[in-house]
Amino acid sequence: MSHPPSTGAKDLTVIEVNISPGQGHDFHKHPDQEEVIYCISGQVEQWLDTERKTLGPGDSVFIKADVVHASFNVGDADAQLLAILGPCVGDQGYELVDVADQAPWKDLR
C-alpha cells in the first residue's frame, strides 16, 4: 500500500492485509520496528507474545519492536487489517522474522 519506493517514506510503512476465514499471519516479529494493527472488518484472533485477544472492526493493538505476534481470522468472512510499521526497513519498508516453528509459538494454536 505505502512503502519507501512508492512514497519516499522513511518513518512509516502502511500495509493492507486481507485474511480469509480460517487463515492467518503466523507468529513472527519485527526486530527494529513498532507496529499498530487496526481491524477494518472481520473477527481476528490477535496474539501479542503469549496473550490472545479478539479484534473486531475499529479495534487496534500496539506492538513494540521485537515482540512476537500473530493474527488469525476466526470469523466467517474475510478480515481486513491495516498494519502501520515504523521506521521503514529495506525496500519493502519492513523486516519480518518468522518464529512459527519455534517454542512456545508452535504449540500455542
- Give the 3-state secondary structure of residue 7: helix
- Grid cell at residue 89: 526497513
Of 23, 26, 46, 27, the residue nearest 36 (C-alpha): 46
* Residue range 10-69, pLDDT digits in tens: 889 999 999 999 999 999 999 999 999 999 999 999 999 999 999 999 999 999 999 999
Domain edges within the chain: 4-107
Task: Compute how many other C-beta atoms are within 10 angstroms of the C-beta atom of residue 103.
Answer: 8
One-letter amino acid for residue 49 of the chain: D
What distance in Å separates the CA atoms of residue 69 and residue 27, rounded to the nearest whole number?
A: 5
Architecture of domain 4-107: Sandwich (2.60)
What global pTM score does this model have? Answer: 0.92
- 66-91 pLDDT, tens digit each: 999 999 999 999 999 999 999 988 88
Residue 2 per-residue DSSP state: B
